[in-house]
Amino acid sequence: MENALKCDPYNLIIAGVGGQGNVLASRVVGDMMIHQGYKVTIGETFGASQRGGSVMSHLRISARGGFSPQMPKGKANMVVALEPMEAIRVLGTYGNPQVKMLCNTRPIQSVGVICGDQVYPEAKQIVQWIESLTADAKFFDTTHEAAKLGNPIFGNIMAVGALAATGDLPMSLKVFKDIISKKIPADKVEVNLKAYQIGRSLIGNR
Amino acid sequence: MSSILLENKKGFEALLMGNDAISRGALEAGVSVVTGYPGTPSSEIVEQLAKVAHARNLYVEWSVNEKVAMEVAAAGSYARLRSMCVMKQVGVNVAADSLLHIAEYGIRGAMVLVSCEDPGALSSTNEGDSRPYAKMMEFPLLEPGDFQEAKDMAKWAFELSEDIRSIIMLRSVTRLSHASGNVTMGELPVVSPGARFECSGTPMDQMIGPILAFPTLIDSQRRRQLEKLSKAAAAFEKSPFNTYTGPEKPELLIIASSACQLYVREALSILDLWSRVGLLKLGTTWPLPQKLLGKHLSINERVLIVEEGTPFLEDNIKVLAAENAKQVGIKTFFGRKDGTLPPVNELNPDLLINGINHILGTTYQPVSDAYSSKAKRITAVGAPDRELTFCPGCPHRASFWLIHDVFKLDNRSGFLCGDIGCYSLGAAPCGFSTIKILQAMGSGTGMASGFGKLDQFGMEQPVMAVCGDSTFFHAVMPALVNAVHNQSDMILTVLDNSGTAMTGFQPHPGTPVGATGISLPMVDIEKLCRAMGIQVEVSDPFDLKGTRKIMLDLLENGGSPRVLILKQPCALSPGKKGEKKFEMSIDETLCLADQCGCNRFCTRVFKCPGLIWNTEKKITQIDEVLCVGCGVCADICPTGAIIAGEAR
């Protein structure tokens, strides 16, 4: 097998808030990689809060395998953030000057923000911070685009599409189609394919 | 969308969650009876096996609690079927009484206890470590170190169990159970098990006698069990799940079990220390493989022991080293006890890197100081913690609001004893910090039963307990019987949301279905309580006014136990998801915001994530994405600015 990874292991973090479909997105990427012969470890934390808490998946993609489900600090190669505040949180622990970022700009306010104890940072400020901590960052409003498809949850698959468009990982439409058809009910495949395609086209749009 | 667990191409490789790998291993071993009680991070095992129960001719049940789950699985084993019992670490404590007796007697068909534990208490009220039970109750313990091993060792556990006729514990941790990795499948066997309980022999005929834990039999039964342990130890000496990687004579030997071995591998690669440090990965952790350990101990002076939980391996390896001091010599041990690794909380690769650096004097810096201090500065202001909260439209928010409210109105310093479930968050700000005692399953009601008897010592505070519907059956019933019989002055509020919500809506005896989706009779909580002779009220927590009145009446009329059942399905329950009862909106002319005097009650105090505060317009708004349309917030706005309209 030819190793098409930019580095080995390729360390990907998919972050968001409970309820955004983070876990499915990480499984889809993981399955796509395994389908092509790679070894994948995915670590994720869920359980305490079904919704509203920070959720993070660590994907360790490699030709040889054996990596920990918890990524060591400062080792992310790519961060896909389904929520902007979570993007910053991830960089705090796993960021490094070479890391790349794909970031949904639509905030999900935490309870602390709702009740006035915390301040949600301004959109411009978030972009500036993320740019200062990454080598390359792209921003898009997947929530908005996904809502047009009927449900903001499709933002997760859109983000997977955007990840594919970066070319960092071998992620063809055909492999995506094979994988998603096995993972979700048949009547949902079409809309997910659409979400994936929209995600691919979002790269570069500010 | 057929289950990956049924894939029958030998050598097929797939991304499996650790829990699915364990399920697959059980299927490859020809398991027939599967029981358990839901608990993170264990629940997926029974859930996924329930989905293939029909295809694989399994009997799968969610039992009322872990002790009964253990007994139902044991019945399978005693009828010569291969059985498995699954629970989280705390469940083993509930099951412990039965476990002791099953271990002491031995089994017939293979019996495997799977304990999925939660180091770091990521979704638990404790960091319990069940491994000491293996030593205390004398049965073998296995700890898989990765996803492939989770599958392979689960399968092997059944074989070993039947070889030595003993129960086997397979211990997983969150970072294995809830993580995923490549697993190569084996074959699914063709099995046609027949069940029959033989009891024609004498009590010492393990396979055909009556199964009796009589005082006069214990001496022989324990001797028999100790022989089985010796057989297990012999098998462990040759086990492929114990492996050594590293130089012949390393400067440091690391002995690691479970997912920790992955952290060690990662740390050694990052520090580039594979030429200096050796890793003995142990998959069989009780009884210890003495010869194997003796061999490695004798060529290493420094030994770091890496494990999740308590220093179980560490203590036992030290005993082994002391017993064999003449052969292995004097060692320096590092681990959780000397501070090389933290004494509590789960481990990770960075903690291993620190620990190894501490021993060898090596150094490592993942990113420059400049980057990390900038990142730290930005994160501190840019990413404040997301406090845990109830979901939008969660009935618990309304229930705790009411309890909090009536205690205040009652004005006698009443307090609430909590229990285990999503509603444990009643102790947090999202539940208005109403819960003041939170410990084990069922203990809220037991404690309330106790507090309710302290009036003779001058206690005048009213006491209430809450429990969920699944918890009610699991451990609250005996506590409630206790309260009734002893006429304790307490109120039990059952937060009935129609399922085991926290762990993913597993059915329980109060729901009309079983694990596999079959229709089953439901046990009615209200009727049960009435049959105990208790005053019972039933209400909808979304009806704030009506429920408040009932609660106040119950508080006033004390002297004996009273039960209030608050019925409202979980906002995420499959039957409710996506269905809005109301379309919520804000009448911007009515929201007076900071001029109101309500002090932004809806967003500052009630704090449903479906409500957001618009800092520019200075009014409350509905978050269309999150709001599920339960309508409760319409009742709490003093100016009526929150409108519950017809659902579209």
Contacts of A118 in chain B (CB under 8 A): 384
DSSP letters for B339-383: TSS-SSS---HHHHHHHHHHHH-----SS-HHHHHHHHHHHHHH-
The span from the CA of B138 to the CA of B223, in Å, is 11
Stretch B260-279: mean pLDDT:
98
Tokens at residue B385, please?
Answer: 């913690």
Spatial contact of B60 and B91, defined as CB atoms under 8 Å apart = no
Spatial contact of B255 and B304, defined as CB atoms under 8 Å apart = yes
Residue B275 reports pLDDT greater than 50: yes
Q: A133 vs B625: CB contact, 8 Å cut-off?
A: no
C-alpha closest to that of B455 among B416, B496, B413, B488 = B488
| Torsion region of A37: left, alpha or beta (phi above 0 gives left; psi -120 to 50 gives alpha) | left
Q: A92 vs B367: CB contact, 8 Å cut-off?
A: no
Q: List the single residue in B147, B371, B609 with the smallest CB-CB distance to A111.
A: B609
Contacts of B41 in chain A (CB under 8 A): 47
Q: B41 vs A48: CB contact, 8 Å cut-off?
A: no
Between B631 and A129, residue with greater pLDDT: A129
Looking at CA atoms only, how far is residue A162 from chain B in angstroms?
Answer: 22
C-alpha closest to that of B186 among B58, B78, B29 = B29
Residue A60: closest C-alpha in chain B: B181
Return the beta strands (E) in A93-181 as ranges.
Answer: 100-104, 136-140
Strands of the A54-62 sheet, one edge to the other? A136-140, A100-104, A78-81, A10-17, A54-62, A39-44, B180-184, B13-17
The span from the CA of A148 to the CA of B248, in Å, is 62
The span from the CA of B186 to the CA of B158, in Å, is 15
Spatial contact of B17 and B178, defined as CB atoms under 8 Å apart = yes
Contacts of B40 in chain A (CB under 8 A): 47-48
pLDDT tier at A50, thresholds 50, 70, 90: low
Q: B389 vs A111: CB contact, 8 Å cut-off?
A: yes
Residue A110 reports pLDDT greater than 90: no
Contacts of A184 in chain B (CB under 8 A): 1
Q: B262 vs A67: CB contact, 8 Å cut-off?
A: yes
The span from the CA of B644 to the CA of B648, in Å, is 12
Residue A27's Cβ-side half-sphere holds a number of Cα atoms within 13 Å equal to: 16
The set of residues, in sequence order, having a beta carbon less than 8 Å from that of B56 and lying 6+ positions away, is B6, B27, B188
Burial class (CB in 10 A: 0-12, 13-18, 19+), B216: exposed
- With tokens 């109403």, the residue in question is B434
Burial B547-573 (b: 16+ CB within 10 A, else e): bbebbeebbeeeebbbbbbbbbbbbbe
The span from the CA of B33 to the CA of A135, in Å, is 54
Stretch B630-646: mean pLDDT:
91
Bridge partners of A60, per DSSP, are A11, A41
Bridge partners of B468, per DSSP, are B495
Contacts of A51 in chain B (CB under 8 A): 391-392, 572, 609
CA dihedral B568, B572, B575, B581 (to 10 degrees): 60
* Poorest-pLDDT segment among A21-25, B257-261, B290-294, B351-355: A21-25
The span from the CA of A150 to the CA of A188, in Å, is 12
Residue B19 vs residues A54, B90, B603: alpha-carbon distances, Å: 22, 17, 39
pLDDT tier at A123, thresholds 50, 70, 90: very high
Q: Look at the alpha carbons of B311, B340, B90, B152 in this order and tell me if their dihedral is positive or negative.
A: negative
Residue A47 reports pLDDT greater than 60: no
Task: Return the number of CB contacts < 8 Å for A and B.
Answer: 193
The pLDDT value given to residue A205: 43
Between B240 and B388, residue with greater pLDDT: B240
- With tokens 């089953």, the residue in question is B520
The span from the CA of B100 to the CA of B113, in Å, is 12
Q: A86 vs B383: CB contact, 8 Å cut-off?
A: yes
pLDDT tier at B646, thresholds 50, 70, 90: confident
Contacts of A50 in chain B (CB under 8 A): 391, 422, 502, 572
Contacts of A77 in chain B (CB under 8 A): none
Stretch B615-624: mean pLDDT:
86
**In the 8-state DSSP scheme, what is residue A122?**
P
Work out the mean pLDDT of chain B and round it to a whole number.
Answer: 95
pLDDT tens-digit series, residues A167-194: 999 999 999 999 999 889 999 999 999 9
Residue A204 reports pLDDT greater than 60: no
Q: List the single residue in B122, B270, B387 with the smallest CB-CB distance to A112.
A: B387
* B4, B13, B15, B117, best to mutate vs chain A, most A CBs in 10 Å: B15
C-alpha closest to that of A200 among A162, A146, A149, A167 = A162
The span from the CA of B516 to the CA of B506, in Å, is 10
Residue B140: helix, strand or coil by DSSP? Answer: coil
Contacts of A185 in chain B (CB under 8 A): 1
pLDDT tens-digit series, residues B621-636: 998 878 889 889 998 8
* B261, B386, B430, B623, best to mutate vs chain A, most A CBs in 10 Å: B386
The span from the CA of B154 to the CA of B171, in Å, is 10
Three state DSSP letters for B239-250: CCCCEEECCCCC
Stretch A12-40: mean pLDDT:
94
Residue B525's Cβ-side half-sphere holds a number of Cα atoms within 13 Å equal to: 32
pLDDT tens-digit series, residues B389-413: 888 889 999 999 999 999 999 999 9
Spatial contact of B70 and B113, defined as CB atoms under 8 Å apart = yes
Three state DSSP letters for B467-483: EEHHHHHHHHHHHHHHH
Residues above pLDDT 70, as percent of chain B: 99
Residue B574 reports pLDDT greater than 60: yes
Contacts of B374 in chain A (CB under 8 A): 132-133
pLDDT tens-digit series, residues B481-504: 999 999 999 999 999 988 887 788
How are beta strands A78-81 and A10-17 bridged, if at all? parallel
Over its C-alpha atoms, chain A yields an Rg (Å, rounded) of 16
* Poorest-pLDDT segment among A21-30, B52-61, B223-232, B596-605: B596-605
Spatial contact of A84 and B218, defined as CB atoms under 8 Å apart = no
* B44, B180, B353, B618, best to mutate vs chain A, most A CBs in 10 Å: B180
Instruction: Please work out, in degrees rounded to the nearest 5, the angle formed at the alpha carbon of residue B117 by the alpha carbons of B112 and B119.
Output: 155
* A42, A49, A91, A93, best to mutate vs chain B, most B CBs in 10 Å: A49
Q: B386 vs A116: CB contact, 8 Å cut-off?
A: no
The span from the CA of A92 to the CA of A15, in Å, is 13
Enter the pTM of the model: 0.96
Q: List the single residue in A17, A34, A45 with the smallest CB-CB distance to B15.
A: A34
Residue A1 reports pLDDT greater than 80: no
Bridge partners of B111, per DSSP, are B83
Instruction: Find the largest Cα–Cα distance for chain A.
Output: 54
The span from the CA of B441 to the CA of A181, in Å, is 41
C-alpha closest to that of B502 among B157, B24, B40, B51 = B40
Looking at CA atoms only, how far is residue A13 from chain B in angstroms?
Answer: 14
Rounded to the nearest 5 percent, the helix, strand and coil shares of chain A are 45, 20, 40
Q: List the single residue in B263, B366, B388 with the smallest CB-CB distance to A68.
A: B263
* A79, A108, A114, A125, best to mutate vs chain B, most B CBs in 10 Å: A114
Q: A125 vs B382: CB contact, 8 Å cut-off?
A: yes
Q: List the single residue in A43, A52, A112 with the smallest CB-CB distance to B175.
A: A43
Q: A68 vs B604: CB contact, 8 Å cut-off?
A: no
Q: List the single residue in B175, B265, B429 with the smallest CB-CB distance to A66.
A: B265
The set of residues, in sequence order, having a beta carbon less than 8 Å from that of B301 and lying 6+ positions away, is B329, B330, B331, B332
The span from the CA of A48 to the CA of B420, in Å, is 11
The pLDDT value given to residue B310: 97
Phi, psi of B643 (to 5 degrees): -105, 130
The pLDDT value given to residue B1: 52
Preceding omega of A9 cis (within 30 degrees of 0): yes
**In the 8-state DSSP scheme, what is residue A53?**
S
Beta-carbon neighbour count of residue B298 at 10 Å? Answer: 14
Preceding omega of B41 cis (within 30 degrees of 0): yes
The set of residues, in sequence order, having a beta carbon less than 8 Å from that of B373 and lying 6+ positions away, is none
Stretch B642-646: mean pLDDT:
92
Q: A74 vs B383: CB contact, 8 Å cut-off?
A: no
Residue B14: closest C-alpha in chain A: A34
pLDDT tens-digit series, residues B221-257: 999 999 999 999 999 999 999 999 999 999 999 999 9
ipTM: 0.95
Q: List the single residue in A48, A68, A69 with the smallest CB-CB distance to B122.
A: A48
Q: A143 vs B625: CB contact, 8 Å cut-off?
A: yes
Residue B588 reports pLDDT greater than 50: yes
pLDDT tens-digit series, residues B76-123: 999 999 999 999 999 999 999 999 999 999 999 999 999 999 999 988
Residues above pLDDT 90, as percent of chain B: 84
The span from the CA of A130 to the CA of B375, in Å, is 9
Residue A206 reports pLDDT greater than 70: no
The pLDDT value given to residue B586: 94
Spatial contact of B638 and B591, defined as CB atoms under 8 Å apart = no
**In the 8-state DSSP scheme, what is residue B415?**
E
The span from the CA of B400 to the CA of B426, in Å, is 6
The pLDDT value given to residue A46: 60
pLDDT tens-digit series, residues B416-465: 999 999 999 999 989 999 999 999 999 999 999 999 999 999 999 999 99
Looking at CA atoms only, how far is residue A152 from chain B in angstroms?
Answer: 7
How are beta strands B642-646 and B582-586 bridged, if at all? antiparallel
Residue B379 reports pLDDT greater than 60: yes
Stretch A11-23: mean pLDDT:
92
Residue B577 reports pLDDT greater than 70: no
C-alpha closest to that of B254 among B304, B218, B321, B290 = B304
